[in-house]
Structure 1
Amino acid sequence: MKLMKRLYIILIVLLSSMLLLLDSCTQKKMVIGVSQCCSGVWREKVNNEIRLAQYQYKNVDLLFTTAENDGQRQARQIDSMIARKVDLIVVAPDNVNDVTPAIERAYRAHIPVILFDRKVKTTHYTASIGGDNVEAGREVARFLASKLDGKGTVVEITGLKDASPVIERHRGFHEVMKNYPGIKVVTLESNWKMERAQELLKQYLDKGGHADGVFGHSDLGAIGAFLEAERRGIDKQILIVGIDGLPGEWEGVDRVKRGQFAASYVYPTQGEKIMGLAMNILQGKPYKKNNVMKSFLATQENCDAIALQYQDLEAKMKNLDQISDSLDSYSEVSRIQKWMIIVAIVIVLVLLFVIYYIYKVYRKKLQKQKAVARGFIENKEGWAAELNHLDESDRYFMDRFKKKILENMGNADMKMDDLGAQMQLSKVQLYRKVKAMTGKTPAELLKEMRLQRAYTLLQQTDKTISEVSAEVGFALPGYFSSCFKKQFGVLPTDFRNEQASKKK
């Protein structure tokens, strides 16, 4: 019983440990989908910042897609996220027409939606975050108007016309330019691509157009304009301003520093704020519905300081990226180790079950053997009931074996070889067969049966110790007394005296 209690305790401990490990290995991860309207350095910077911010939170997976300026494709990607049942979707919509229905479908499916950088024609979203595009247009207009002293021609090169940043930047730009009647604004509708911006400016200038300044709705548009102006040798005569203000060689801030741009509006990425807003929503914490990130112009006066800040930030991000890679490796190793422990526990549990099963089978077999041996030794009527679990041939054998012992019980010189011969078995065969059915050897059964018979004779007759000893097959009374005491815990003479006192 002690063994069984220990086994139960071990099983409970192992099962508890396995359940805890399984819980840690199989905890449901929240999935945040990030649907970008296009690729590019600015978008990749946002994605990297979101990835790094992810490591502040446990059990969060990110799913990134990009539509490459295809609104219908982006709608399909959002629908795929809905079908996958992601926990939240961050969307930078390609345009207000194609993507709005998909966002509404996500909202109706009770999936929180964060609009990032861009807007759509619906109120069915959870929150929005991004820069102030109207203010960006205003800031660029004020800068160019100041640098041109309120006179000249400015060429505005937009992005895709249905994109909300284009609509808002255009509105903010013209809102300020209305105050400067001496400045003429020419708007060229582009598609965010550098090559298209260069081609549009080329066509405009080839037709006799003039430009004192250029406002590119993105730095790529501004670069396209610079390349065309440089090709014509008029790049020093035109003030070029873009929007993005990205770090890195030949990006917006670097071109301001090199004198190719007059300025670049630093449009904020701040992926960590997007991630923070997403987690506040998912964790049921307070959050603002509309979140505006402020920014500024990078100019010749501040571009060195901005570049140093970017370099410092880039170095820190690289360190964080290395740390995050190490954490990923550690987490993977930890996860594998946990599963290995679980597998080991399962194996141990299986082994314990096998041991328990074998123990139960052995114990049941032992109980049956004891029952057969007890009935055999005590020689009571009806003892054959103890043999019911045996097949017919084994019952017949045990019945014959008992009769042979009873016939030869008084023969002190009887040997197992002789008994086996009478049973038509060798000594080894007899030993194995009797041991298998009773758990005792033939010699042990014979001795215990003799002692049991002696017990009855001492209890029910007046025969002397020597007479009883001889009748049950013990040649030496002293050896009989020793065996009797070992079996019943009392010498035969003391047992006889106890029985006599009881009769009185």
Structure 2
Amino acid sequence: MKKLFYAVLMSAFVFSCGSKEATKTVENANKKIGVVISTLNNPFFVTLKEGIEEKAKEYNYDLVVIDSQNDSAKELSSVEDLLVQKVDLILINPTDSDAVTSSIKRINEANVPVITLDRGANGGKVVAHVASDNVKGGQMAGEFILEKLNSKGKVVELEGISGTTAARERGEGFNKAIEGKLEVVARQTANFDRTKGLEVMENILQSNPEINAVFAHNDEMALGALKAIEATKRNILVVGFDAIDDAVASVKEGKLGATVAQQPKLIGILGVETAKKVLDGKQVEKYIPVDLQLVK
């Protein structure tokens, strides 16, 4: 009789443990992460999304991905949609570091943790920020141009979307590197866009007969600028930022001078890894840097 009692007791214990494990698995599977991407009309952010999806699948998380289409108003409405869907955490790649403050504060009000990717937020409470060291990247680009021009010449800076940390920090690093050595003859925004980069560069070329180099805050603008330059058959060094496939191929062909390589997929992966730590109740670093390198 005692043997039967212990057998029943052990069976109940095993069933109980199994139930706990099953419950734990179900709980993990039910974790839902909202993802707001500034635009999916850019290879860099498509790759970032792929990194997020890969890691989320490994952790068995549900994902809801929304494209802001570079529109801050759509970004805010996307965040509100995610909050209605009761997501457990939000990963956001801001369209604009100032404008995203409204979205961050709305997320804060709902007591949902939020992590920024690639671009930071200038307001609200963010658990962590995962990004490349953009200042260092801009400095690397500036130093490369200095080397190629023997520290003499006239340069153009094509800026990204005004208000983004990426544009501000890349420009900061670049200008720090060339200060007092190279003359910036034009500095204009081209909104991180290839077509806009082409148009802006065409205008700059018309009004500046002497240009030795161009630094663009991203490869899309760099490739647009390169196309404009090729049409004039002028010999101008162009350096981009992000190392998207088109840019790397252009460097290998000897057209684009160089590009600063970010790792967008790794940014996405680290974003989800950080999210898991937060959801598991662990402490995380406020800033999680991702390594850069110069492709030349």
TM-score relative to the length of structure 2: 0.87
Distance 1:57 1:143, change over 3 A: same
Larger Rg over CA atoms: 1
Is 1:43 paired with 2:45?
yes
Q: 2:220 aligned with 1:220, yes or no?
A: yes
Map of 1:243 onto structure 2: 241
Deviation at 1:244, TM superposition (A): 0.8
Report the equivalent of 1:490: none
SS state at 1:210 partner: coil
Alignment: residue pair count: 278
| Residue 135 in structure 1 maps to residue 144 in structure 2 | no
What do residues 290-337 of structure 1 show as CA deviations (whole Å, max 9, x unaligned)?
A: 1111211101xxxxxxxxxxxxxxxxxxxxxxxxxxxxxxxxxxxxxx
Check whether the contact 2:202–2:228 (CA below 8 A) recurs between aligned residues.
yes
C-alpha contact (below 8 Å) 1:115/1:129 kept by paired residues: yes
Partner of 2:6: none
The 2-side partners of 1:173 and 1:25 are apart by 48
Q: Show the counterpart of 1:261.
A: 256
Alpha-carbon shift at residue 186 of structure 1 (Å): 1.9
Q: Which structure has the higher relative contact order (CA within 8 Å, separation 6+)?
A: 2
Deviation at 1:246, TM superposition (A): 2.1
| Structure 1 residues 191 and 288: alpha-carbon distance in aligned structure 2, compared to 1, 3 A threshold | same
Residue aligning to 1:83: 84
Deviations 1:434-459 (A, max 9, x none): xxxxxxxxxxxxxxxxxxxxxxxxxx
For residues 151 and 52 of structure 1, do their structure 2 counterparts lie closer, same or farther at Cα, with a shift above 3 Å needed?
same
Question: Which of 278, 282, 287 is equivalent to 2:284?
Answer: 287
Match of 1:61 in 2: 62
Q: Cα RMSD (Å) of the superposition?
A: 2.3
d(CA) in 1 for partners of 2:209, 2:107: 47
Tell me how far apart the structure 2 counterparts of residues 211 and 92 of structure 1 sit (CA, whole Å). 34
CA drift at 1:207: 2.2
CA distance in 1 between partners of 2:188 and 2:209 (Å): 12
Deviations 1:48-67 (A, max 9, x none): 11111123213x10111111
After superposition, the Cα gap between the structure-2 partners of 1:219 and 1:122, relative to the gap in structure 1 and judged at 3 Å, is same
Distance 1:124 1:227, change over 3 A: same
Q: Would the aligned equivalents of 2:108 and 2:124 in 1 still touch at CA under 8 Å? A: no
How far apart, in 1, do the equivalents of 2:25 and 2:52 lie? 24
Equivalence for 2:100: 99
Q: 1:83 offset after TM fit, Å?
A: 2.0
Secondary structure at the residue paired with 2:97? coil
Amino acid at match of 1:232: T
> Contact 1:157–1:216 at 8 Å: present in 2 too?
yes
1:174-253 alignment runs, 5 A limit:
174-180=175-181, 182-234=182-234, 237-247=235-245, 251-253=246-248
The one-letter code matched in structure 1 to 2:240 is G
Q: CA deviation at 1:29?
A: 0.6
Do the aligned partners of 1:153 and 1:186 also contact (CA within 8 Å) in 2? no
SS, match of residue 295 in structure 2:
strand
Q: What whole-Å deviation, never above 9, does each CA across 1:252-296 have from its counterpart, x for those lacking one?
A: 211110011110000221022111111011111232121111211
Which segments of 5 or more consecutive residues in structure 1 lack a partner in the other structure? 1-12, 300-504
Quote how far apart the aligned CAs of 1:233 are. Answer: 1.4
The AA in structure 1 aligned to 2:230 is: E
Which residues of 2 match residues 212-361 of structure 1 at below 5 A?
212-234=212-234, 237-247=235-245, 251-269=246-264, 270=266, 271-299=268-296
Q: AA paired with 2:279?
A: L
Change over 3 Å in CA distance of 1:110–1:174 after alignment to 2: same
Task: Summarize the Cα distance change of 1:25–1:145 in structure 2 as closer, same or farther, 3 Å threshold.
Answer: closer
Q: Which one-letter code corresponds to 1:54 in the other structure?
A: A
CA contact (8 A) 1:242 1:264 kept: yes
Q: Percent same amino acid among aligned pairs?
A: 26
Higher percent of residues as strand: 2
Normalising to structure 1: TM-score of the pair? 0.52
Letter of the aligned partner of 1:264 in structure 2? T
